[in-house]
Amino acid sequence: MRYILNFNAAAVALLGTAVSNLDVVPRSNKTLGATTALVPSLDGVAYSPLDSTEGRFKVRLSETNARTAGLRGSQRYTIRQGRGKNPTFFLVPHSQVRHGKKLHIDGPAVTVSLTERAA
């Protein structure tokens, strides 16, 4: 099973050039109620465009990495920028995805979905 993170255009704009050098890690921010963060990484993760006209991006994560970072499948998160020298972005739980119904979120957001790995 793989976790797919689907970033909206506002999230890509917020992350800017850092989008290709971020990892998903467990990181707590009690003020925001966040337990997961996107932090700078030398390895980075492979982002790929979903739709070049809308500027949406996605990334695939292994089940182990996603669970270690505290991500939940079928969950929407808003993205808030942390403070400090290094850019840290916190994933704040927003809502659960129900029956595939679309929900427009104003501002930077990511939706986590699950997919079966091809045999």
pLDDT tens, 1-40?
A: 888 888 888 888 887 755 556 778 888 888 888 888 887 6
pLDDT bin (cut points 50, 70, 90) of residue 77 is very high
Q: What is the pTM of this model?
A: 0.79
Please provide the average confidence, as pLDDT, over all residues in the chain.
77
Domains in the chain: boundaries? 2-110
Is the confidence at residue 44, as pLDDT, over 50? no
- What residue has token string 């957001």? 109
pLDDT single digits (tens) 47-71:
555 555 556 677 778 888 888 888 8
Is 51 in contact with 95 (CB distance < 8 Å)?
A: no
**DSSP H/E element including 13:** helix 9-15
